[in-house]
Chains A and B, each alone.
Chain A
């Protein structure tokens, strides 16, 4: 419906140069084929799409894709939410009920109590926000130094940072854990401390790569003027570079927060104390002791923050997903 009303001129324009036979069915094509125009050319040409069979196949395909996607990706979540509101007998009954017979919202309050959700959410939020601020501060300054101040051995350092991307964290889980129990030279014991999350998150080669590539694209002339005026490097960073870099900072921020929120193995190892657990670890620990509908209610509560983040920052998330990979 959007296409028939939004682009009538575009459709008219093309039809003005179209051959005579099509003019006869003008009113019909206007209604039926307009959506095929005004879109980047893809595998199937607009002409093929506008043909009678093209339209039929297109609508059939669209309906199938919509149905399959909804079934595969939305229905499990629907089942999770309704499962939470069913009673134990209703969950076990055959055949299952599509709607809960007597939706029971009190289960969410029960799950909140049982899983100690308040504490878990507070912990996770604390780790995520701290990791975000710390990683941003560390990675932005490093990327700025590597991109604009260009010290000796800068490329070696960058190479060593990017090389860590080849080795997924789980492979070095044991030595990393041992490091956390006793940080070399400093002798810190970081188990159950938020720094056990924050330090490793800041050591993220991908963030450095994204930030450095963005800073590289900022023309040096812009900074040279400031340098000649005697503006110190940190002022250049804060007042010139950061304001221009808002899009990439957004991407890095979201990714860091989402990563910390989703992570499972690492917090499982380094935050074993039940008063320090993240939401993922907390759910996994308590899931064996409560009923099925209470587990589902817990999962619903744990999903809500991420879904909200997704709704608000969808653009940044999708931009970031392709930013790193497209360059190859």
Chain B
């Protein structure tokens, strides 16, 4: 349709410019929106509308069949009064902090070491990214076997070294950390490779200059490497927090939130409200809305920091 209406020869008649230009503008806008409409549909239905709907749903009671009813703050009250609520936030927070410790500092250190090595670079990069490529279900089920208190690999190794066996997923003390280990194992690679690319962009003269000034290796890292990769470190900090805040498959497959709610995360609790406890979509949405606000706050802080940095 657009192809027939396009008349580019118009450009050759500059005298009657204003009306022609307007018509051309309308036409080019129509064409552009023709190209955009499929994406607009997908975004409107499956990205923008769900966000609005989440806000609406958290003040409603619905069973997906009858007309939803407005219930004010009831959903929020249900959620907050749930004994698992505080536990879920605490777990999510601890999980995020632990995952940051393992999933943020470790990859940076690993990337620094990898960048210094002159041999086997392709192998190391391939290997570190391998778990990221596996479907998460594979990593999770594999580790479920490793954690098995009977014939699991981890207890076999502990036994071999002469240490007492651990209950791993079955104890309130170790369940959460066990989930963090799986999660770190399957996500570490992407962080390492992103940092590695950032490290390769640091101009060598900077290190040269630092060395001439008598800076040792640690000082070179602190005064050259860290400032030079600051923006990416900040960005990754936010991405990490956002990623770990939505932990789901680990508690879903490994512990079911137990033992004694020790591994219930906010995302998992949300899923339970909507799809396990008989379709309490309102309460689930209220919880989702809270999580969304927290994540947006994290994003806002990150944007602020980045902007200050760029100035």
Interface of A toward B, CB cutoff 8 Å: 3, 35-36, 39-45, 58, 61-62, 65-66, 69-70, 72-74, 76-77, 79-80, 83, 91-96, 137-139, 141-142, 144-146, 149-152, 154, 157, 160-161, 164, 166-168, 170-179, 181-184, 199-200, 202-203, 205, 208, 227-230, 232-234, 258, 261-262, 264-265, 269, 279-281, 283-284, 287, 292, 295-296, 299, 302-303, 306-307, 309-310, 314, 317-318, 321-322, 325-326, 328
Bound-state Cα–Cα, A262 to B279, Å: 26
Across-interface contacts of A39 in B (CB, < 8 A) = 118
Contact between chains at A176 and B50 (CB < 8 Å): yes
Nearest chain A CB to B157 CB, angstrom units: 9
Closest to A151 in B: B32
Question: Separation in Å of the A187 CB from the closest CB of chain B?
Answer: 12
Query: Which of B48, B225, B267 sits near A160, CB closer than 8 Å?
Result: B48
Q: Which of B74-132 contact A (CB under 8 A)?
A: 112-120, 123-131
Give bound CA distance, A253 to B274, whole Å: 33
A151 to B43, CA, bound (A): 17
**Interface flags, B35-46, vs A, CB<8A=1, else 0:** 110111011011
Beta-carbon contact of A95 and B204 below 8 Å:
no
B185 to chain A, nearest CB (A): 8
B138 x A303 contact (CB < 8 A): yes
Is B145 interfacial (CB-CB < 8 Å)? yes
Besides the known contacts A62-B120, A76-B185, A306-B134, 4 further A-B residue pairs in the complex with CB atoms under 8 A apart: A40-B204, A62-B117, A310-B130, A326-B197
The residue that A43 contacts in the complex, of B9, B50, B198, B220, with Cβ under 8 A, is B220
CB neighbours of A178 from chain B (8 A): 53, 57, 62, 64, 281
Q: Is the CB of B232 within 8 A of A328?
A: yes
Contacts of B53 in A (CB 8 A): 172, 175, 178-179
- Does B153 reach chain A (CB closer than 8 Å)? yes
Residues from chain B with Cβ under 8 Å of A74 in the complex = 127, 130
Q: Which residue of A lies closest to B247 (CB)?
A: A170
Residues of A close to B47: CB separation below 8 A: 161, 164, 200, 203, 205
What are the residues of chain B within 8 A of A137 when measuring CB–CB? 38
Q: Are B231 and A179 in contact (CB under 8 A)?
A: no
Q: A43-B207, A200-B46, A326-B197 are in contact. Are A174 and B129 (CB under 8 A)?
A: no
Contacts of A44 in B (CB 8 A): 116, 217
Closest B residue, CB atoms, query A152: B29
Closest 9 CB pairs of A and B: A41-B204, A142-B39, A151-B32, A149-B32, A175-B53, A145-B35, A322-B197, A175-B50, A203-B42
Q: From residue 259 to 276 of chain B, which have CB atoms closer than 8 A to chain A?
A: 267, 270-271, 274-275
B130 touches A73 (CB 8 A): yes
Whole-angstrom distance between the Cβ of A309 and the nearest chain B Cβ: 7
Q: How far is the CB of A300 from chain B (nearest CB, A)?
A: 9
**Which of A83, A144, A230, A262 meets B35, CB within 8 Å?**
A144
Report whether over half of chain A's contact residues are helix, strand or loop; otherwise say mixed: helix
* CB nearest to A198 among chain B residues: B42
Q: What band does the interface of chain B fall in when counting residues whose beta carbon is under 8 Å from A?
A: 35 or more
Residues of B contacting A284 with CB < 8 Å?
137, 141, 253
Let me know if B156 is at the binding interface, CB within 8 A. yes
A138 CB contacts on chain B under 8 angstroms: 38-39, 42
Beta-carbon contact of B142 and A76 below 8 Å: yes
In the bound complex, how far is the Cα of B133 from the Cα of A137, in angstroms? 25
Q: Which of chain B's residues have a CB closer than 8 A to the CB of A61?
A: 113, 116-117
Select from chain A the residue with minimum beta-carbon distance to B221: A43
Return the contact of A73 from the options B46, B131, B270, B296 (Cβ within 8 A). Answer: B131
Q: Which residues of B contact A (CB under 8 A)?
A: 2-3, 6-9, 11, 28-29, 31-33, 35-36, 38-40, 42-43, 45-51, 53-54, 57, 62, 64, 112-120, 123-131, 133-138, 141-143, 145-146, 150-151, 153, 156, 159-160, 185, 190, 193-194, 197-201, 204-205, 207-208, 211, 217, 220-221, 224-225, 231-232, 235-236, 239, 242-243, 245-246, 248-249, 253, 267, 270-271, 274-275, 281, 284-285, 288, 291-292, 295-296, 299, 306
- Set of chain B residues within 8 Å of A265, measured between Cβ atoms: 248-249, 271
Assuming the contacts A227-B8, A234-B3, A307-B130, asked whether A141 and B124 have C-beta atoms less than 8 A apart, the reply is no
- A167 contacts B207, C-beta separation under 8 Å: no
Asked if A41 and B207 sit within 8 Å, CB to CB, the answer is yes
Known: A65-B113, A173-B270, A299-B138. A149 touches B128 (CB 8 A): no
CA distance A144 to B37 in the complex (A): 12
**Docked pose: A228 CA to B39 CA in angstroms:** 28
Known contacts A76-B142, A168-B246; is A176 also within 8 Å of B32 by CB? no
Question: A234 is contacted by which of B2, B126, B128, B271 (Cβ under 8 Å)?
Answer: B2
Minimum CB–CB distance for B277 against chain A, Å: 13
Choice from B43, B117, B130 contacting A161 with Cβ under 8 Å: B43
Q: Is the CB of A83 within 8 A of B135?
A: no
Interchain CA distance A155-B15 in the complex, whole Å: 32
Residues of B within 8 A of A168 (CB): 242-243, 245-246, 295
Given A172-B54, A179-B46, A322:B253 Cβ within 8 A:
no
A61 to B292, CA, bound (A): 43
Cβ contact of B36, chosen from A73, A94, A145, A170, cutoff 8 A: A145
B292 to chain A: which residues have CB within 8 Å?
Answer: 167, 171-172
Contact A179 B38 (CB under 8 A): no
Closest A residue to B230 by beta carbon equals A328
Please measure, in the bound complex, the distance between the C-alpha atom of A109 and the C-alpha atom of B190, giving whole angstroms.
Answer: 33
